[in-house]
Amino acid sequence: MTNLVEQQYRWLNETKLAPEKLRLNWVYDQRFYIEGAIDQIQQNILFGGLLAVVVLLIFLRSLRATIVVATAIPISVIGTFIFLDLLGRNLNVVSLAGIAFAVGMLVDNAIVVIENIDRHRQMGKNAFDAALDGTNEVWGAVLASTITTVAVFLPVVFIQEEAGQLFRDIAIAVVASVTLSLFVSVSVIPMFSHKLFKVKTNMAPRKFGMLDRIGGALAGAIMALVTLSIRTWRTRLLTLMLLIGLAGMSVQLLIPKMEYLPQGNRNFVLSILVPPPGLSNDERIDIGKQFFTMADPHIGKDHEGMPGIENMFYVGREGFMIVGAISQHFERASELLPLFNRMIYSIPGMFGISLQPGVFESGIGEGRTIELNVSGDDLNTIVAAAGTLFGKIRTEIQGAQVRPVPSIELTYPEARVLPDRDRLKANGMSTQDLGVALDVLMDGRIVGDFKQEGKKKIDLVLMADASDIRTPEDLYGALLATPQGKVVPVSTLASLEQTTGMALIRHLERARTVTLQITPPKSMALQSAMEIVEEKIIPEVRAMGLLEGLQVQMSGAADKLTQTRLVSSA
């Protein structure tokens, strides 16, 4: 798809835009990442298949048996492509990863069948009888083995959460390839072994030298261990208890902490800035210029051991600012993170986070994040609790980046127009009428729309001259026409209060909320960070009495991880 878009991009530049002295610039695409991932997975499939063949040679020590078993790999892989197409799935990084994961399992059934056929051959049976009897004896065990594997992966197909949708292709690829390997093992393998083993040869059995010695030693050691384990009822019971205990200890001690989704290595660095309150447009523009000035030594060339910056952009708005960049070296984008962190904190009053967005990330800075929501009725109490949590998180989770949404500062300048209900009533107006009039004086008010047939609808906006209202005092002294035909200033109908507040009040389920977006360091799993927040930080702040009357809950990737764990365990 990207290749088709690039063709149209070049066509537009060469034929349509060049005569108008215009040009589209191709800034960013992910083809390098996608193509690199696909090439790597293809190599994994190839090398995995070759290693499987080597292992077969070591243990089977028969070239003909190895050839027979190895045919299960290409047949099952190619057959999986057909199943993916029939189910409406495409061949992508995820589905190829599923096939690569299943390569080692594709030969399991075939090995069981070919070993039993070989056993019947050694009993003196001809090739046909050995293939028929050998397959007939083990097809039930092969079927049971396949069904247990399918039973593990098949539920993933039906998970509706985000993780299920992303990894559905892996489950489909594994289920399809393993199921095909079952049919290959009970049909192709007996037929191929019959054709191959009935060929007469005067050559002595082929020796594989080192492979024979390694295979013989391993087989001897394994059989000695099996003999020891099943010698008496005591050794059998001891073996059973030892294996169960070892499995239980492994689960408790070795199971890793969980992540929600893999991040990948996307060639993109994003910085989200929380500016100090009260910045003007000119100041926001100056901050952008400072960023480009500080980044200038790195643009277009490597500098101080860091990769060069290929492209960079800056967006400044009222609530927050963002700075994005891509590296000249695709695989080294993460090395730019310390640079942008230094740039952020070099600006007085500024704080923020720098991160490498994940491959599966949808929102801005919402990939590998724990969203800690502090909700309640009193904004001052919420901000005090959120500020304490902010400091505790930065202390307890070293290297974590925390972004409050909105800011946890109540120092943004705010002008409030407070209606005088008695004076409004005396002038035949309501508080709603005053609000509409103030809208007209400031940003304008939509009073209707106009639409011509076949054309887009146009909003009709009533607004005052922008040059007349520049400050809150100008608004307070502006004139209004009342329903009684009088013209009075706003100051006779309301009072003006200069105070401070928040630039944005966020609500969650109708409650005022401040959200702390926590991005743990790469060295810490998401589950570990969740446990620190839930089991240590929140209880400590609650013990300080700052969470009385407030609700604290986790969402974002943390909530998705919890839901996925519950669905998977069910």
Mean pLDDT for all residues in the chain: 82
**Alpha-carbon distance 115 to 134, whole Å?**
8
- DSSP-based three-state secondary structure for 10: helix
Ramachandran sector of residue 124 (left: φ over 0; alpha: ψ -120 to 50; beta: rest): left
**Alpha-carbon distance 263 to 101, whole Å?**
19
**Alpha-carbon distance 424 to 436, whole Å?**
13
Looking up tokens 């001809």, which residue turns up? 126
Quote the pLDDT of residue 225.
85
**Alpha-carbon distance 516 to 404, whole Å?**
4
When pLDDT is averaged across residues 326-337 and rounded to a whole number, the result is 86
**pLDDT category of residue 206 using cuts at 50, 70 and 90:** low
Task: Tell me the pTM.
Answer: 0.60
**Alpha-carbon distance 262 to 454, whole Å?**
48
> Is the pLDDT assigned to residue 384 strictly greater than 70?
yes
Residue pLDDT, tens place only, 285-317: 898 999 999 999 999 889 888 899 988 999 987
Quote the pLDDT of residue 204.
45
**pLDDT category of residue 534 using cuts at 50, 70 and 90:** confident
Residue pLDDT, tens place only, 520-533: 887 888 888 888 88
Secondary structure, 3-state, 402-415: EEEECCCCCCEEEE
Q: Are 506 and 512 in contact (CB under 8 A)?
A: yes
For residues 8 and 197, the model is more confident at 8
**pLDDT category of residue 389 using cuts at 50, 70 and 90:** very high
Quote the pLDDT of residue 201.
47
What domains are defined for the chain?
A: 31-208 (1.20.1640.10), 269-411+506-569 (3.30.70.1440), 415-495 (3.30.2090.10)
**Alpha-carbon distance 101 to 122, whole Å?**
34
Quote the pLDDT of residue 199.
58
Which of 174-178, 181-185, 499-503 is predicted with the least confidence, judged by mean pLDDT?
499-503
**CA 453 distance to own-chain centroid:** 46
> Is the pLDDT assigned to residue 567 strictly greater than 60?
no
Looking up tokens 């969470």, which residue turns up? 547
Which of 16-20, 121-125, 316-320, 564-568 is predicted with the least confidence, judged by mean pLDDT?
564-568
Residue pLDDT, tens place only, 410-461: 666 778 899 998 888 888 899 998 988 888 888 888 888 888 877 888 888 8
Return the percentage of the chain with pLDDT > 90, whole number: 6
DSSP strand E in 290-389: where? Answer: 309-316, 321-327, 351-355, 370-376
> Is the pLDDT assigned to residue 13 strictly greater than 80?
yes
> Is the pLDDT assigned to residue 557 strictly greater than 70?
no
> Is the pLDDT assigned to residue 49 strictly greater than 80?
no
Quote the pLDDT of residue 202.
44
Cα dihedral 557/559/561/562 (nearest 10) = 170
When pLDDT is averaged across residues 103-129 and rounded to a whole number, the result is 83
Quote the pLDDT of residue 569.
55
**At CA 107, angle to CA 104 and CA 110, rounded to 5?**
165
When pLDDT is averaged across residues 541-568 and rounded to a whole number, the result is 77
Residue pLDDT, tens place only, 211-258: 667 767 777 888 888 888 888 888 889 988 998 998 888 877 777 777
Quote the pLDDT of residue 229.
86
Greatest mean pLDDT among 38-42, 556-560, 566-570 lies in 38-42
For residues 495 and 566, the model is more confident at 495
